[in-house]
Amino acid sequence: MGKSMAGHLMTKGQLSLQVSDRFQAACDPLVKQGATFMSPVEIAKQADYLFIMLGYPRDVETMVLDKQDGLFRHMKKGSFLIDHTTSSPSLNMRMADEAKDLGINCVDAPVSGGDVGAKNGKLVTMVGGQKDHVDHVRPLLDMYSAQVELMGEAGAGQHAKAAN
């Protein structure tokens, strides 16, 4: 799903992307379209908007909150983390609190629609976070979503996805 979503950002938004995956070959189609492959930390150091979609809440916790190598330790003040992982509301609330302390903006935004929805740019994105943060990233989310709904504060997107 992430590959298709990133592809929409590149084609509809004409944005330059830096991409990463545990398996570099998974990013080859995006690299052929002009994306640059980098490590997550390298991306975090320069990105204004950092999108993640990982397997499990424990993956998100390690990738984002690790005290030494977590993405939050490397992100620029004022940048945005958009978490598309289907995860845990309490984890996203914790992430939002820590992000705020670090001057980073955090939005939980799990999606529904599967691979077909991602390929067709027709995902439903259920968003939790501060309204001004969500309003700021909405044009990006709209590039691969048929519907973007603010469900409430941090963790609310995860609650909506669980109910879905």
Summarize pLDDT for 105-126 with one digit per residue, the tens: 999 999 999 999 999 999 999 9
* Residue 161 designated active-site: yes
Q: Which residues contact 14 (CB under 8 A, 6 or more apart)?
A: none
Per-residue pLDDT reduced to its tens digit, 46-104: 999 999 999 999 999 999 999 989 999 999 999 999 999 999 999 999 999 999 999 99
CATH classification code of 2-163: 3.40.50.720
Q: Which residues contact 100 (CB under 8 A, 6 or more apart)?
A: 106
Which among 89, 40, 42 has a CA at the least distance from the CA of 62?
Answer: 40
- Whole-number Å distance between alpha carbons of 29 and 141: 21
Q: Which of 3, 32, 131, 161 is catalytic?
A: 161
Domain assignments of the chain as residue spans, ordered by start: 2-163
